[in-house]
Amino acid sequence: MTLRHVGFTPVPPGAKPGFDHADTYRDPRGSKLFVAHTGADRVDILDCRSGTYLGAITDLPGVAGVLIDSEQDLLFTSERAAGRVSLFRCSDRTLLSRVAVGAHPNALAYDGRSRRLFSFNLGEPVGTNCTASVVSVGERRVTKTITLPGRPRWAIYDDSSRTVYVNVADPATIGVITADPLIMSGAIPVPAAGPHGLAIVQTERGASLWCAADAGTLAVIDRDTRAVEATLPLPGTPDVIMYDRELGRLYVAVGGPGTVSVFDVRRRVHLETISTEEGAHTIGWDPASRRLFVFQPKSCGAAIYEETG
């Protein structure tokens, strides 16, 4: 066993149940976890060490994406119902700006070197005319719009290759957006239907993309050669992926039947699967405390697990 259950933090309910993306603000005084509480139109905040509920950022209609750059003290959110992204100073939650983007913004990625935020938009109607809006944080406006080949899901920026990778549900691919110039430069085929969660893993073998797909498959794809190096089974349809480089652990949330699967990325093997709660597809990770937070919509709170391995 690698994960030990250590607690549960209740969260005030919203009009509807439902959580989405989460990210961690790394602070020497103590990490804080920010999670999109979509059903409540707000971002909830937890203290990672104590597990205490600290409050919320409100007025975020249909909030879906949450992304933090701790070094630059920035918090980004995407609000599907408002068609916008919001920029905050993370340490004190001060609103810095709101920028209109494409319809139904969802996943976010951030190039800290160029201070560009990428908002991946689901389009109108959802799943059509999908785009990526490139927001200049300094200018606080959209500077470019990139057409996508299909509905975007999880996205991540890789500084070592100066590339944004975004899962596209159909066709089952990982879209490749080069930071300079800002273009869709290609697509990596995924050997399973419905790419969803995504992480970039760096080991002695090199860099690889770990893609969790709806078909119940975790695909490991070499970032540079684009060869499929491994496929690992999952117990259901996955969503969020969290990766800890120091531990060499990857955590995959599966909402149905409600599990988290743990993988050793160096050996590329499954370590364990723990039961959580039906519908719990959102997780957050704090590397400082080595704690995994599983957001459970039915219980309306976060189950807390501590890494023991």
pLDDT values of the chain reduced to their tens digit, one per residue, 309 residues: 789 999 999 999 999 999 999 999 999 899 999 999 999 999 999 999 999 999 999 999 999 999 999 999 999 999 999 999 999 999 999 999 999 999 999 999 999 999 999 999 999 999 999 999 999 999 999 999 999 999 999 999 999 999 999 999 999 999 999 988 899 999 999 999 999 999 999 999 899 999 999 999 999 999 999 999 999 999 999 999 999 999 999 999 999 999 999 999 999 999 999 999 999 999 999 999 999 999 999 999 999 999 987
Where do we find the tokens 């990139």? Answer: 146
**pLDDT at residue 309 in the model:** 75
Provide CB contacts within 8 A for 173, sequence distance 6+. Answer: 149, 150, 167, 187, 188, 189, 190, 195
CA distance 214 to 253: 12
User: In what side-by-side order are the strands of the sheet with 3-10?
Assistant: 3-10, 301-307, 291-296, 282-286
Map out the domains of the chain with their CATH numbers. Answer: 3-307 (2.130.10.10)
Cα(102)–Cα(135) distance, integer angstroms: 11
Kindly report the three-state secondary structure assignment for every residue of 94-157. Answer: EEEEEEECCCCEEEEEEECCCCEEEEEECCCCCCCCCEEEEEECCCCEEEEEEECCCCEEEEEE
Cβ–Cβ under 8 Å, residues 215 and 233:
no
Predicted pLDDT of residue 180 = 85
Residue 254, pLDDT score? 98
- Judged by DSSP in three states, 213 sits in strand
**Residue 144 contacts residue 151 (beta carbons within 8 Å):** no
d(CA 113, CA 167): 22
What type of residue sits at position 274? I
The DSSP letter of residue 209 is E
Nearest one of 1, 2, 9 to 304, comparing CA atoms: 9
| Residue 308 structure tokens | 């023991």
Query: In the prediction, which pLDDT does 22 show?
Result: 98
d(CA 143, CA 60): 23
Q: Which amino acid does the sequence have at 114?
A: S
Are the beta carbons of 129 and 114 closer than 8 angstroms? no
Alpha-carbon Rg for the chain, nearest whole angstrom, is 18
In angstroms, rounded to a whole number, what is the distance separating the alpha carbons of residues 119 and 187? 18
| pLDDT at residue 58, rounded to an integer | 98
